[in-house]
């Protein structure tokens, strides 16, 4: 075994590290090696221009082996994200930039990387129509990632580029104007793990206009996180905000208010759901009746071959009926207040 050490430019080191990680993740989940072991083997695969072979030992492994891939890995493209101000990019400022996965880089390195890069604008401005959409615009999403730089959960340092964009106040899909707008002071970066922890783990959060997030753990402890990008890019800093005045309602009153709101919603949805169930049952019964009538017509044609003369089921002589109903079909004299007939009722 041998060790390799070297000193290279920050951008080259970031690209090299990203490429090793990508190669290490190209094996199946049954590979027995750790991530560090796969990265070490990926270094050899990268120098030989091949993919990393999977060591799961299965003949039906879904991942291709190194022998079947060929030598096509030399020109693979790696994306490296750099955050910098426009003045720095165009040479009007010596303000440093931020290289994802590495850290702060000087203005000269920013301009060298920008010379052969695609430049994307990060913009906090939001139109009224965009504020009522769940998905933020591409420019706003970039601005949030540039402002936060990392996951906003206390103690987490995962890069913002691989994080989810979370609504601090949940977006109201039924009535977007009621709250949870898609605006900078209601958006932040959360990695997938801490996004789920907030949703299902009992953590509560509040976000101020300057991007500060106040977290309250299930045990009642309070934590405060600030956007890391504000120190590097002061132009992103909004006016300093203070925490809002705590609500005077007790937890029992808040719980009672939530329960009352949920019960009101259930009462409003009860007739709607009843009408939907009635329609679904009526459609099912109509389809079953059509299938039965079509079956009787087929039996008449198969065993008799001539029209029926019975006065009790004249419908058997009618043409076959379609066994699929149009979306706008409604039962005759449809009434949402009628009791649903169930097939198992005696």
pTM as predicted: 0.52
286-325 residue pLDDT tens: 999 999 999 999 998 888 888 888 888 888 999 999 999 9
- Per-residue pLDDT for 109 more than 80? yes
24-65 residue pLDDT tens: 887 888 888 888 888 888 877 777 677 788 888 777 787 654
Mean pLDDT estimate for the chain: 82
Q: Which of 91, 85, 48 is nearest to 70 (CA)?
A: 48
Q: What is the pLDDT of residue 292?
A: 93
> From CA 118, how far away is CA 97, in angstroms rounded?
16
Output the CA torsion sign for 114, 117, 122, 127.
positive
Q: Residue 164 — pLDDT band, cuts 50, 70, 90?
A: very high
Region 94-109 average pLDDT: 83
Phi-psi region of 164 (alpha: psi -120 to 50; beta: other; left: phi over 0): beta
Region 76-91 average pLDDT: 77
Of the listed ranges 98-112, 133-147, 271-285, the one predicted with least confidence: 98-112
Q: Residue 346 — pLDDT band, cuts 50, 70, 90?
A: very low
The token duo for 283 is 């459609």
Of the listed ranges 71-80, 81-90, 128-137, 155-164, the one predicted with least confidence: 71-80
SS (H, E, C) the chain: CCCCCCCCCHHHHHHHHHHHHHHHCCCCCCCCCCHHHHHHHHHHHHHCCCCCCCCCCCCCCCCCCHHHHCCCCCCCCCCCCEECCHHHHCCCCCCCEEECCCEEECHHHHHHHHCCCCCCCCCCCCCHHHHCCCCCCHHHHHHHHHHHCECCCCCCCCEHHHCEEEECCCCCCCCHHHCCCCCHHHEEEECHHHHHHHHHCCCEEEECCCCCEEEECCCCCEEEECCCHHHHCHHHCCCCCCCCCCCCCCHHHHHHHHHHHHHHHHHHHHHHHHHHHHHHHHHHHHHHHHHHHHHHHHHHHHHCCCCCCCCCCHHHHCCCCCCCCCCCCCCCCCCCCCCCCCCCCC
Percent of the chain with pLDDT over 70: 84
Q: What is the pLDDT of residue 68?
A: 44
Q: What is the pLDDT of residue 343?
A: 45
Q: Residue 71 — pLDDT band, cuts 50, 70, 90?
A: very low
With contact defined as beta carbons under 8 Å apart, do 7 and 16 qualify?
no
Domain boundaries along the sequence of the chain: 10-69, 120-236, 272-346
> From CA 262, how far away is CA 22, in angstroms rounded?
46
- Per-residue pLDDT for 72 more than 90? no
> From CA 321, how far away is CA 315, in angstroms rounded?
11
Question: What is the number of other CB atoms lying within 10 angstroms of the CB of residue 202?
Answer: 11
205-243 residue pLDDT tens: 999 988 899 999 999 999 999 998 888 887 776 654 555
């Amino acid at each position: 075994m041998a060790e390799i050490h070297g000193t290279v430019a920050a951008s080259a080191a970031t690209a090299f590290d990203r490429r090793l990680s990508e190669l290490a993740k190209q094996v199946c989940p049954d590979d027995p090696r750790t991530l560090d072991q796969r990265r070490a083997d990926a270094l050899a695969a990268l120098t030989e221009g091949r993919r990393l072979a999977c060591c799961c030992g299965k003949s039906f492994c879904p991942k291709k082996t190194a022998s079947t891939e060929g030598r096509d890995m030399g020109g693979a493209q790696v994306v490296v994200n750099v955050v910098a101000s426009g003045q720095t990019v165009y040479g009007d400022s010596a303000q440093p930039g931020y290289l994802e996965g590495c850290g702060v880089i000087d203005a000269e390195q920013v301009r060298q990387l920008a010379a052969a890069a695609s430049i994307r604008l990060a913009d906090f401005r939001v139109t009224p129509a965009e504020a009522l959409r769940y998905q933020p615009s591409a420019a706003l999403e970039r601005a949030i990632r540039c402002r936060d730089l990392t996951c906003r959960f206390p103690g987490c340092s995962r890069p913002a580029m691989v994080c989810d964009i979370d609504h601090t106040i949940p977006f109201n899909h039924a009535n977007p104007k009621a709250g949870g707008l898609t605006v900078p002071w209601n958006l932040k970066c959360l990695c997938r793990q801490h996004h789920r922890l907030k949703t299902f783990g009992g953590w509560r959060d509040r976000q101020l206009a300057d991007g500060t997030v106040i977290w309250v753990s299930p045990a009642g402890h309070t934590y405060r996180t600030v956007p890391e990008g504000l120190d590097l890019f002061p132009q992103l800093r909004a006016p300093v905000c203070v925490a809002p005045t705590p609500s005077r309602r007790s937890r029992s009153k808040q719980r009672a208010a939530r329960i009352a709101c949920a019960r009101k919603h259930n009462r409003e949805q009860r007739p709607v759901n009843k009408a939907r169930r009635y329609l679904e049952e009526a459609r099912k019964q109509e389809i079953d009746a059509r299938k039965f009538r079509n079956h009787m017509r087929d039996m008449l044609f198969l065993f008799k071959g001539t029209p029926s003369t019975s006065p009790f089921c004249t419908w058997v002589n009618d043409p076959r009926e379609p066994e699929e109903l149009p979306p706008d079909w409604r039962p005759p004299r449809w009434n949402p207040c009628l009791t649903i007939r169930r097939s198992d009722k005696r």
